[in-house]
Chains A and B, each alone.
Chain A
Amino acid sequence: NAGVTQTPKFRILKIGQSMTLQCTQDMNHNYMYWYRQDPGMGLKLIYYSVGAGITDKGEVPNGYNVSRSTTEDFPLRLELAAPSQTSVYFCASSYPPIYEQYFGPGTRLTVT
């Protein structure tokens, strides 16, 4: 099993550009999550999904969108990139017990 994979690993965006961060898991987990981690800080939940077709906002959803059309994939969309979205983005998945999350390697995004 590859676990949780994320692409790209690094990306530089100009202000106002859009992009999609990809996340795929091959563990058949129902739950998937997107977090952002700012330098020297803990992780903050952006969006989560409890199954295909179901998504909900986390603590910091503004400026992001998600979709969950399959169990495996949970892409995160940035529509109008802003410097405040410079961060490292982590995708995670879990299966009951739902709290034991497996994380991907992260995507380091810089918006200039």
Chain B
Amino acid sequence: GQQLNQSPQSMFIQEGEDVSMNCTSSSIFNTWLWYKQDPGEGPVLLIALYKAGELTSNGRLTAQFGITRKDSFLNISASIPSDVGIYFCAGPTGNQFYFGTGTSLTVIP
């Protein structure tokens, strides 16, 4: 199956700092999605990207669809405690769906 690698694996940041994470694939994707998962809950969609080079924002979150179609980036500005969780990238190939390995974010007040 497809392998989506996320980095960093985990991050510990101070409240108010900006965060950057990325996701890379060995194959081309035509859609990239970013999800957040809180402990004990299902993932929640944050941002969907449908076009190479696309830059999309959702509040303090900004995601970019890499030009090569093999990567995507998520930035969080001015982090707050409720940003804590695991962030996953995901992408479809046909009707198959693949999730990345996740980036765990801890925000220190």
Contacts and interface: CB of A to CB of B under 8 A. Distances in A.
Note whether A and B form a binding pair. yes
Interface of A: 4, 31, 33, 35, 40-45, 48, 50, 56, 58-59, 90, 92, 97-106
B101 A99 contact: no
Contact of A103 (B44, B95, B100): B44
Contact of A104 (B4, B33, B42, B90): B42
Contacts of A98: 92, 95
Contact of A105 (B42, B98, B99): B42
A42 B95 contact: no
B58 interface: no
Contacts of B50: 97
A97 B48 contact: yes
Interface in B1-42: 1, 4, 31, 33, 40-42
B92 A58 contact: no
A50 B95 contact: yes
Size category of the B interface is 20 to 34
Given A90-B42, A92-B42, 7 more contacts: A41-B101, A42-B100, A44-B99, A48-B95, A48-B96, A59-B98, A99-B97
A101 B41 CA distance: 14
A43 to B, nearest CB: 4
A25 to B, nearest CB: 12
B43 interface: yes
Given A41-B101, A100-B33, A59 B43 contact: no
A56 B97 CA distance: 12
Nearest to A91: B42
B65 interface: no
Contacts of A42: 4, 88, 99-102
Given A59-B1, A100-B48, A45 B98 contact: yes
A103 B45 CA distance: 9
B33 to A, nearest CB: 6
B100 A58 contact: no
